[in-house]
Amino acid sequence: MDVPTPWQVVLDLPCTEVALGPHRFDIRHRALVMGILNRTPDSFYDQGRYYDFEAFLAKAEELVAEGADFLDVGGVKAGPGPEVSPDEELERVIPAIEALRARFDVPLSVDTWRASVLEQALAAGAVVGNDISGFADPDYLAVAAAAGASVVATHIRIGPRVADPEPVYDEPVVHAVAGFLRDRAVRAEAAGIPRERVMVDAGLDLGKTAAQSLELLRAHDRLATLGWPLFLSASNKRFLGELVGTAVEDRREASDAAHALGIALGSRILRAHDVRGARRTADVMAAVLAARATIAAAAAGAGP
């Protein structure tokens, strides 16, 4: 474990803009909220509540109304479960993306680690590839670059769909994750994806114990200095449930607390189930950070 260091509220980001398709967002103070839409019958959180297409569309409308900046559509859950073929994944996500594009003027993301699914999703209207495998598919970045898409590089120790209940790292977990994310982001840029279209995510709970996920959350100020916009995927995660002793359906307040801390430490994209809570948290934190920047600028202008 790393020796604890004092938290540093991150006021100056190395990358202050995120580009998602034709949309460009200033993230100096205001965090974006990505609304989660699962087209899976076995999601860890909603357990298939929105697998039905009409329920899915109704949920999407709710998330947009609550302030989602963009929407993330997934057709395969991250954890172990029944095999889902590429064709089945496509059947779940492509009609969903097409329907969302026809209804809402917000950027769309596809949560997939398969380049073949990414390619068709981008053709259907998605503009972001959210890959929890860390670009394990060798064609993933080339597909994204050719379409002018944005990508999310997520750390995972083994890979999607593989149980990893007792992860062990050969170096401090923060060092391991930071090195992995730097490597994947550099690869994305080398493939032709500009920095403002490359986001990084520590992958809390993905091949991490609760203690390791908490350590990584605490270290988000260090991850924010890597140079790319920083994602936070803490919503309703297992480590929060272990901290507060609640089931997955009762982690809203813990998620809001993680979001507020993450923003203070430099995260500027929140992947959230409860968009309304995340949006309110992000807006309060944006006001605090903007006020702090104004005070700092005034003090600097006053001179000695």
When pLDDT is averaged across residues 21-40 and rounded to a whole number, the result is 96
Q: What ranges do the domains of the chain cover?
A: 17-302
Q: Which CATH architecture has domain 17-302?
A: Alpha-Beta Barrel (3.20)
Query: What secondary structure letter does DSSP report for 243?
Result: H
Is the pLDDT score of 301 beyond 90?
no
CA separation for the pair 155, 220 (Å, rounded)? 14
User: What is residue 75's predicted lDDT score, i.e. its pLDDT?
Assistant: 94
Q: How confident is the model at residue 267 (pLDDT cuts 50, 70, 90)?
A: very high
- State the sign of the Cα–Cα–Cα–Cα dihedral 72, 255, 257, 185: negative
**71 closest CA partner among 47, 113, 103, 49:** 103
C-alpha closest to that of 184 among 227, 221, 232: 227
Note the pLDDT tens digit of each residue in 99-110: 999 999 999 999
> Which residues fall within 8 angstroms of residue 299, CB to CB, at 6 or more apart?
none
Residue range 166-180, pLDDT digits in tens: 999 999 999 999 999
Tokens of 75: 């057709």
Residue with tokens 């409308």: 61
pLDDT at 90 over 80: yes
* Distance from C-alpha of 223 to C-alpha of 200, rounded to nearest angstrom: 9
CA dist 220 and 31 (Å) reads 14
Distance CA 233, CA 213 (A): 11
Residue 45, pLDDT score: 62
Q: Is the pLDDT of residue 1 over 80?
A: no
CA–CA distance, 133 with 246 (Å, rounded to integer): 28
Q: Which residue, 137, 134, 23, 45, is CA-closest to 89?
A: 137
